[in-house]
Amino acid sequence: MVLFHLKGKEAQHEFLYECPASTPTAALIADLVRVHNTRLKVMRLADACLGLAAHGPLRPEETRGLSDEVAKLSELSLDKGATHPDPSNYRTGVPPTAATAEVLKRTAEEAQEAVSHKQVGHRVCMTVSRLQESLDNLRGAVMIAYPAYHNLPEWDPARMILEDKDPLEGTHEGKEVLCESSTGLWWAGKEMRRGKLVSDFLGRNEKTKVVARLQPANAGAPVREPRVDEETHKAMLSFYHKRQQEDKQLEDDEDDSYLGSAWANPRGLKNALVGGGKDIKWKPFN
């Protein structure tokens, strides 16, 4: 199986994918786009579930961000009986029961871990079925907390994502979603065009590993990665900064008191060789 390491503009979009070398590039691109988009959906839904577990459903749009004092002045009614007030005043502050909230939180954290870019380090490949399992688990957790969406308003992000109604147009998340028909796959500065096989580009070796990128067709070739990775770059900057500080200290240090030290004596070697550094005593013969 050929191993693809898919990278994006941000580290969180990285994932592994494998397929036979005989796979048509059109089928490969279609599956990669589905995996990418489903990963984003799982991440959005997991964040929404964590919000539900912490502070309950989202408020109506006209009351979001309003404190109790402001709401009284504007004659807008806020939800009463908030047990876990939202510091940002975007949620009602009425989460489900403690046990149910724990289920939501645990399921969301497991889903985040399952789709995390850190799975690349564990050599875990992403598949649509694996991601769908995470989606199903999150859906089940939401149904436990809000059966048939009871007490979960239609504008809440978790419900909108589960019903495929989340408004992504014009948002940062929407820009990250790819369209299957207008997405290209790039490898080593070359586009793997549709109508061919993976082996036409990478050969028939099933143990090949490549770094690739998904890119909108109208965006052109992706920007090449820097030759130095981020950790090495940080280490280099730290080294040069430390070196500059040391050079500055040497320039500012004009103390010459060290000249009186024994190790700074220019005749120290001669004195050590002649008499072991001691004064030579002599007296005339009778």
Mean pLDDT, residues 113-124 taken together: 94
Split at pLDDT 50, 70, 90, the class of 48 is very high
pLDDT digits (tens, 9 = 90+) for 169-207: 778 888 889 998 889 999 888 889 999 999 999 999 889
In the predicted structure, residue 4 carries a pLDDT above the cut 80: yes
DSSP H or E segment with residue 255: none
The percentage of the chain sitting over the pLDDT mark of 70, rounded to a whole number, equals 89
pLDDT at residue 23 in the model: 94
Query: Domain ranges in the chain?
Result: 2-57+94-219
DSSP 190: E
Question: Strands 190-191 and 183-187: what pairing?
Answer: antiparallel
Split at pLDDT 50, 70, 90, the class of 44 is very high
pLDDT digits (tens, 9 = 90+) for 128-160: 999 999 999 999 999 999 999 888 999 999 999
| Integer Cα distance of 194 and 186 in angstroms | 12
* Rounded CA Rg of the chain: 33
Split at pLDDT 50, 70, 90, the class of 162 is very high
- Range from 25-34, 213-222, 266-275 that averages highest in pLDDT: 25-34
Task: Please give the C-alpha separations between residue 23 and each of 188, 198, 201, 202, in angstroms, as whole numbers.
Answer: 19, 6, 11, 11
In the predicted structure, residue 286 carries a pLDDT above the cut 60: no
In the predicted structure, residue 116 carries a pLDDT above the cut 80: yes
**Which has more confidence, 183 or 249?**
183
Split at pLDDT 50, 70, 90, the class of 75 is low
Mean pLDDT, residues 204-225 taken together: 85
**Spacing of C-alpha 227 from chain mean position:** 20
Please state, rounded to an integer, the average pLDDT across all residues of the chain: 86
Mean pLDDT, residues 26-54 taken together: 95
DSSP H or E segment with residue 195: none
Q: CA 115, 119, 120 angle in degrees (round to 5)?
A: 125
Q: For residue 92, what are its two tokens?
A: 């009602």
pLDDT at residue 280 in the model: 63
Split at pLDDT 50, 70, 90, the class of 82 is confident
pLDDT digits (tens, 9 = 90+) for 85-99: 888 888 888 889 999
DSSP 97: -
